[in-house]
Amino acid sequence: MSCSCLAQTSKALKPQQIPGKIECELYDQGGEGIAYHDTDAVNNGSGKLNPVNGNPLNEFRINEGVDISYSKADDIDNNPFNKVPRSIGDLYVGWTVPTEWINYTVEVTKSGTYTIGLLYTANGDGEISIDVNGKDATGKMKIASTHDDKEPIDWRQWHHWNSSASIGTIKLKKGKQVLRLHIVSNGNMNFDYLTFTAQ
Ligand SMILES: [Ca+2]
Ligand SMILES: [Ca+2]
Ligand SMILES: [Ca+2]
């Protein structure tokens, strides 16, 4: 078997380093099937929920299938059901569905075992996993539901922010690594950023 094709590769949009914070909306360039898989080609946040009106937050990666929105004031994302204080104007990946995945080409500056943290919402218990260079490196990691039966506004069940200091651990080697975040079960999760802290 041979291939003379130009390699289509997943490439970092911006440098992101481990240890540190990986912004979920800064996933790789390369498009559907290469940098990510999303269940529909529409960005359900940028340009759809969030209208084109000159605000760059409303148009972030507007032509890509991964669905992106940002935290908003006026009791939307800074609502009384948050489990942690929430800053406003922070981009996140939403409209997550099982089978979807997103690549992050990152620079690991030190080999070792890292604790994974997450700033997220989850309308129901969910599961995610992370591959490193094509191999599962975490197994299924549980994401605790932030659903609250006391919430009077149905759509706001997707906006109860929580921070988990440890959803799992991962071994990483120094150098450039491709992390692939998989939505394993439930979906209905929003991801602002992951943290990787050396153990
Ligand atoms: Ca989509
Ligand atoms: Ca999606
Ligand atoms: Ca973010």
The alpha carbon of 119 and the centre of ligand 3 are apart by a number of angstroms equal to 9
- The per-residue pLDDT for 7 is 62
Residue 132 CA to ligand 1 center (angstroms) comes to 24
pLDDT tens by residue, 11-35? 999 999 999 999 999 999 999 999 9
Question: What is the model's pLDDT at position 20?
Answer: 98
Q: Residue 6: pLDDT band by 50, 70, 90 thresholds?
A: low
pLDDT in tens, 130-170: 999 999 999 999 999 999 999 999 999 999 999 999 999 99
Number of residues that make up the chain: 199
Give the CA distances from residue 72 to residues 41, 53, 94, 154, 181, in Å, rounded to whole numbers and listed in that order. 24, 16, 14, 17, 25
Q: What is the dihedral of CA 163, 168, 172, 176, to 10 degrees?
A: -40
What separation in Å is there between the alpha carbon of 96 and the centre of ligand 2? 4
62's tokens? 């507007």
Whether the pLDDT of residue 1 is over 70: the answer is no
pTM for the model stands at: 0.95
Distance 22 CA to ligand 1 centre (A): 21
pLDDT in tens, 186-199: 999 999 999 999 99
CATH code reported for the domain at 17-198: 2.60.120.260
Q: Over range 91-112, report the average pLDDT.
A: 98
pLDDT surpasses 70 at 4: no
- Which pLDDT score is estimated for 8? 82
pLDDT digit string, tens, across residues 51-98: 999 999 999 999 999 999 999 999 999 999 999 999 999 999 999 999
How many whole angstroms from its chain centre is CA 89? 16
Q: What is the pLDDT of residue 2?
A: 53
- To 5 degrees, how large is the angle CA 49–CA 51–CA 55? 120
Structure tokens given for 153: 């506004």
Strands 126-132 and 141-143: antiparallel
**Which residue has tokens 């094709």?**
5
pLDDT at 87: 97
Q: Which amino acid is at 1?
A: M
Ligand 1 mean position to 175 CA, how many Å? 31
- C-beta atoms surrounding 76 within 10 Å: 15
Distance 136 CA to ligand 2 centre (A): 21
